[in-house]
Amino acid sequence: MIVDPSSVLSAYKKTGGVIDSADAGSGSDATSLAGGQSFGSFVKSFLGDGVAGLKAGENAAASSVTGKADLASIATAIDNAEVLLTEITTIRDKAISAYQTITSSAI
């Protein structure tokens, strides 16, 4: 799954109530920018798509053992699963880093 940066930004604006100065004069609020989707549901759908992609890679690897799939589809599925795993790991690392920064901040 390829994530559109504008949808991520819109979801962030909705949850944080942040509006750029360029958007402030347009009369639109953060809810309409996000298209009605909450940040939590965005993350849930992203992770659900990630799990589905990883399962597709596993199924392709299993079908390669039995000889039921061609090499190109197997390579594509495994490559997509690798990209998804890298994205999920990067997001996890950024979330942990943000949490550690917040917890070490003085109140």
pLDDT for residue 80 is more than 70: yes
Per-residue pLDDT tens over the stretch 19-62: 444 444 444 444 434 566 787 787 788 778 878 888 888 888 88
- Can you give the pLDDT at residue 94? 92
Split at pLDDT 50, 70, 90, the class of 18 is very low
Specify the residue for token string 């953060």. Answer: 30
Q: Where are the domains of the chain?
A: 42-107
Give the rounded percent of residues in the chain with a pLDDT score beyond 70.
66
CB atoms within 10 A of CB 47: 14
The residue-averaged pLDDT of 55-80 equals 82
Where b means 16+ CB within 10 Å and e means fewer, 62-93 reads eebeeeebeeeebeebbebbeebeebbeeeee
